[in-house]
């Protein structure tokens, strides 16, 4: 009985992860659609709001995908991360 229950838990976890990935993919595609509009600062239309309301009911991890940032911001984050990484490497003593 224990093995069957573990297999059921494993299958449910695998399917839940796949569903969450599909929802995240759907959210990212919708964000790209909004950003591809030819205006300088795209706003959300009524159908975009309906989409996010529908998605919020189905997907618990939606908060992570709601962040829309400029490319310059992402580059800044990468530079800060690389700077921290280099500082970390400098803090490690070199043993020859």
pTM: 0.41
How many of the other CB atoms lie within 10 Å of CB of 34? 14
User: What is the Cα–Cα distance from 27 to 41, expressed in whole angstroms?
Assistant: 19
The CA distances from residue 18 to 24, 59, 85, in Å, are 10, 12, 32
pLDDT-based confidence at 67, cuts 50/70/90? low
Q: Does the pLDDT value for residue 75 go beyond 60?
A: yes
* Confidence (pLDDT) at 80: 93
Region for 50 from its dihedrals, namely left if φ exceeds 0, alpha if ψ lies in -120 to 50, beta otherwise: alpha
pLDDT in tens, 1-57: 577 776 776 667 666 677 777 777 887 787 788 777 766 776 778 888 888 788 777
H or E stretch covering 68: none
Q: Does the pLDDT value for residue 68 go beyond 70?
A: no
Range with top average pLDDT, 3-7, 33-37, 63-67, 77-81? 77-81
* Confidence (pLDDT) at 71: 80
């Amino acid at each position: 009985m224990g093995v069957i229950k573990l297999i059921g838990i494993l299958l449910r976890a695998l399917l839940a992860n796949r569903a969450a990935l599909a929802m995240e993919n759907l959210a990212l595609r919708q964000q790209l659609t909004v950003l591809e509009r030819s205006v300088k600062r795209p706003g959300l239309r009524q159908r975009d709001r309906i989409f996010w309301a529908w998605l919020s009911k189905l997907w618990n991890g939606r908060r992570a995908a709601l962040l829309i940032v400029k490319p310059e911001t992402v580059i800044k984050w990468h530079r800060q991360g690389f700077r921290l990484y280099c500082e970390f490497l400098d803090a490690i003593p070199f043993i020859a």
